[in-house]
Structure 1
Amino acid sequence: MTLSRRALVLSALAVPALAACGGAAEESADAPAAGGGAGAGAYPVTITHLYGQTVLEAEPARIATVSWVNADSALALGIVPVGMPTVTWGGNDNGSTDWIDEKLAELGAAWGGEGAPTQYDETDGVNLDEIAALTPDLIVAAYSGLTEEEYTQLSKIAPTIGPIAANYTTSWQEALTAVAAATGRDEEAESLIAQVEADLAAVGEQNPAVAGSTFIAGTLGLADNSIALYVGEDTRPRFFTALGMSPAEVVAENAGGADSFYVDWSAERADELVSDLFYTWGEAGVTVEDLQANELFAQIPAVASGGVVITDDDHTTLSISAASALSLPWAIENVVPSIIEVAERVAS
């Protein structure tokens, strides 16, 4: 099936940042206790988000999540949610992800067992009924496109952490920090953030061709000759930047004031997209040669030189488009090798 223009740009609406998350979650004067689980004197705790502040009077024991990333954040801190969404785009056979499955097994809550989370479908929006049936004492939507109306509805079920930033632009660090603040796991979150960021940075430090490359992250739609560039707080450019790469000047110069995570680009101006590497995602089987055979895309310097990194599998694409503390180590294993290979080939 050919991906539509809208699907190419919007199917992976996952745009967390790889930037510092200071100020994302505010605590009361009594900070949550370290070591996993807050002490009795650690509460109340206040989490600040787009729709106000959420106050937790005690450590939550039953956490439900919405959207991507939020369940990953809980799991990364050793917390198994009582409920989480089925991964309907980019998921594996379990309606999950490989990185979630691995962590669930590690925590003794593998799918099919008594401790596994309940899954609910969000294809038609937030599943209020199934979330309510789980009687959670915290709902996490820190990374999401949750509307204020949906936030209000969820808050009637349980205290809810709304989106820290709008339109899926909460960073994975911010999402992790919010869950950590709510559950008294601040030190664990700080350590995990430092480790993942260091592992990402090590890619550039150990591979000069990567660190010396400029990049553009976008989508190239063969079906309709469309080009979209990811800009601003989008997770994909932040992923490549975290590896030590530099964003192409043409993107920065043309993304000023963008109120979205992407901008459309005229295919007739493809030759202006100057960078060493161009990242795109698309249908299974799409190759660099397919892009080079397109007379418009062939004008993109990175396409002409073979400097294209393609994720043509939705699951692989999801690992960086809905980046989390769990998915990024997986991406380092499964996406980064192709980035290194392309960077070295272009640099040689």
Structure 2
Amino acid sequence: MTTIRSSIGTEAVLAVAFALAVAACGSGGGSDSAAPDRGPTTESTAAASESPTTGPPTTESPSTEPANTASESATSTPAATDPESVATTATITHEYGTFEIPLHPLRVLALENRRDLETAVVLELPVAAIGAFGGDGEDVVAPFVPIDLDGIEIIDNAELNLERIAALAPDLILAREIYLNDGEAEQLGQIAPILPIAGDGSWRDDLEQLAGWLERSDLLDDALEDYDTALDDVRTRHADRLSTPIAIVEYYPADDTFYAGGVDDFQLQANTLGELGGTLVPFLADRSYFDEPFSIENLGEIADAGAILLVSNSQEDRDLLAANPIWQQLPAVVAGSVVVTDTRTNQGSVYAATESIHSSTSSTTR
């Protein structure tokens, strides 16, 4: 039986997939959550979560439009807050209301451990707490996100505990839109002002909007330059291979199915592939991540993939897949051209996008 191993470290996830890398194995990995990535939210009651203990998620898609309809007032007003901070706020109006946003917050709650958190980190906001499905675990934050977790509380965002959140005393909440659409925005807004993070769509547009609201656009320069440089480098070095279609699939072991979408769909890895000019195999190109998953018996539909980027959250799940004879017979698997990542790169921001290009160790079937 072959073994699929995963780690996040030194070589490009997508670049290695495009280059059809051979047998470079690593160690480590992501979280042990096994369910497909619909965004861990209060929608868990409708089975739309990443919990390994729940059934398949609903196929309801989050909003496909980034939160880019907001406007900022032309003036800043004094803030009655800690005197050690610069006492200014900005009046921000977005689809969830009008808020006085502290431009120099002291305690920020990033309600989700991917795009919300990455936005806070790149904008140098003082993170006091992070929401994650299950609320604990050493793999809550991906290693490519440059943050020291000492002193930061991790809370369970599967079902929002408003009393717990209020006890954290945040003065600013960053929250993906998917947390805000069932009355939570009003409840959270009574605790602290809210800035929405898009549930999907362009991470760059979303990040630039948040930076503009908080008057921190200058902090984006280095991070965006790193991403653009990596993008150009991979395009140049692998130009002759980007025409080979690949497959990006997320394995759901509960019923041996796979979730996948096109390059303009939900998964950030596929979005990055599109930016690189790469292509997916025809079977996946027109799919939506929120379509019904396809079964393992249909894996032959991706047999023409020159490489496979497998999204899987635990070694146990990867071992289960590696033992399946249908998987074993795929040409990319036989060739050792399988790269493994996890759902922490599904919906992040600039760090996850850069990771998808140049910061991940390939893991192959051997």
Question: Quick check: TM above 0.5?
Answer: yes
Change in 2 beyond 3 A, CA 1:44/1:289: closer
Aligned equivalent of 1:268, options 294, 297, 306: 297
2:320 & 2:282 partners in 1: Cα distance?
A: 26
The Cα shift of 1:261 comes to 3.7
Cα distance, 1:90–1:319 mapped onto 2, change above 3 Å: farther
Aligned partner of 2:92 in structure 1 is 45
Helix, strand or coil at the partner of 1:280 = strand
The one-letter code sitting in structure 2 at the alignment partner of 1:65 is: A
Give the secondary structure class of the aligned counterpart of 2:248: strand
What's the Cα RMSD here? Answer: 4.1
Cα deviation digits, residues 162-206 of structure 1 (max 9, x gap): 3434xxx25432442343133211232365334323323422322
| Cα deviation code 1:303-323 (max 9, x no counterpart) | 344432223xxxxx2442242
Distance 1:154 1:237, change over 3 A: same
- Measure, in 2, the Cα distance between the counterparts of 1:23 and 1:38: 27
- After superposition, give the CA deviation of every residue in 1:41-74 in whole Å (9 maximum; x if it has no partner): x83333x3xx434433652523222012212211
Tell me, yes or no, if the aligned pair for 2:118 and 2:348 is still in contact at 8 Å.
no
- How far apart in 1 are the matches of 2:338 and 2:158? 35
- The one-letter amino acid of 1:59's match is L
In 2, distance between residues paired with 1:333 and 1:178? 25
Residue equivalent to 1:325? 350
Ranges in structure 2 where 5+ consecutive residues have no aligned partner:
1-32, 41-48, 51-63, 78-84
Cα deviation for residue 220 of structure 1 reads 4.0
Counterpart in the other structure of 1:76: 122
Superposed CA offset, 1:192-248 (max 9, x none): 334323323422322335533322211345674423323422223113334442222
Which amino acid is 1:217 matched to?
Answer: I
Distance 1:318 1:142, change over 3 A: same
Match of 1:184 in 2: 215
What does 1:220-299 align with in structure 2 at a 5 Å threshold? 220=251, 224-231=255-262, 232-253=265-286, 255=287, 258=288, 260-261=289-290, 263-273=292-302, 274-282=304-312, 283-284=314-315, 291=322, 294-298=324-328
The equivalent position to 1:139 in structure 2, one of 170, 173, 184, is 173
Which one of 60, 63, 66 corresponds to residue 111 of structure 2? 66
1:252–1:31 Cα change, 3 Å: farther
Query: Residue 36 of structure 2 corresponds to which residue in structure 1?
Result: 9
| Higher normalized contact order (CA 8 Å, seq sep 6+, divided by chain length) | 2
The percentage of counterpart residues that share the same residue type is 19
2:55 equivalent in structure 1: none
Aligned counterparts of 1:226 and 1:318: Cα–Cα separation in 2: 16
CA contact (8 A) 1:137 1:159 kept: yes
Structure 2 counterpart of 1:345: none
Unaligned runs of 5+ in 1: 1-5, 105-109, 312-316, 343-348
CA distance in 2, matches of 1:325, 1:53: 27
Corresponding letter in the other structure for 2:211: A
Deviations 1:70-117 (A, max 9, x none): 122111122212322357589537x544344x434xxxxx61xxxx43
1:211: which partner in 2?
242
Aligned pairs (5 A) from 1:121-160: 121-122=155-156, 124-142=158-176, 144-160=178-194
Q: CA, structure 1 residues 240+224, in 2 after alignment: closer, same or farther (shift >3 Å)?
A: same
Q: Which moved more, 1:239-248 or 1:152-161?
A: 239-248
Q: CA deviation at 1:156?
A: 1.3
Q: Distance in 2 between matches of 1:22 and 1:223?
A: 33
Q: Is the 8 A contact 1:272 1:300 kept in 2?
A: no
Corresponding residue for residue 333 of structure 2: 303
Cα distance between partner residues in 1 of 2:220 and 2:174? 16
Alignment length (residue pairs): 299
Greater fraction of residues in helix: 1
Q: Specify the code of the residue in structure 1 equivalent to 2:270.
A: P
- CA shift for structure 1 position 121: 1.8
TM-score scaled by length of structure 1: 0.68
